[in-house]
Amino acid sequence: PRFAALIPAAGSGSRLGFGIPKALVDLQGKTLLERAIENLAPLVDEVVVALPEGQSIESPVKQIVGGNTRQDSVFRLLQATEADFVLIHDAARPFLGAKVLERIKGRVIQSGAVTAALPATDTLVHSSGGFWGYLVDRSKTWAVQTPQAFRRTLILDAHLKALQEGFEATDDAGLANKYGSNVELVLGDSRLFKVTTPADFELATAFAQLWDQ
């Protein structure tokens, strides 16, 4: 089967506050997007990236214009490929190792819908007005990451239904599940953290030196 890596990279990066799109921010000599492409390209047949309007990168990968939301950017990416399976991965997660990718690829053919996720390690609480509301059962809670992989027709179908109903989710596994798919949780990695805030960027800068060795 053919695999495409789809990389939503059209976010503004306003929470990071560097004044340029987050995916194009330099992290120790390579942009977040370059790092994501470099990790994914060896394991797929095709890479497609969604960029902010008016942006392009120097790379042989296919580039399209993203949308106003992550969901819209992924919907556009899905229309730019005919691969049997798609691996969707945020440009904002630059430390994607081959092991996680192999696990994800290894499960999606059978499952149709899988995501990297980590069992929660912190105590989890539902908050109410800035105060402790109630405890969430940590033993049943996972933090969801990317990559997420799907049979292309399955996730395209979920996106079409979501568009019709005006349903919005923060990721594609959430969409797939909303429209009836069983989503398998595959062990992710704490190094797959998402670079969102300046503090995340500080961590990423320090860790990049180790990663690049």
Binder among 6, 37, 50, 162 for ligand C5P (CB under 6 A): 50
Residue with smaller CB distance to ligand C5P, 9 or 87: 9
- Name residue 63's beta-bridge partners: 49
Q: At its nearest, how many Å lie between ligand C5P and the CB of residue 208? A: 17
Answer for the pair 192, 145: CB distance below 8 angstroms, yes or no: yes
Q: Which amino acid is at 184?
A: E
Here's the x/- map for ligand C5P, 73-112, by CB under 6 A: it reads as x----------------xxx--------------------
Residue 114 CA: distances (Å) to CA of 45, 87, 93: 19, 9, 17
Bridge pairing between strands 113-119 and 142-151: antiparallel
* The binder of ligand C5P chosen from 43, 61, 67, 211 (CB under 6 A): 67
Is 9 among the residues that bind ligand C5P (CB under 6 A)? yes
In the set 4, 34, 48, 66, which binds ligand C5P (CB under 6 A)? 66
Tell me which H or E stretch contains 102.
helix 98-111
Per the listing, tokens 């990416």 go with: 77
Interacting residue ranges for ligand C5P, rule: CB under 6 A: 8-11, 22-23, 50, 66-70, 73, 90-92, 194, 196
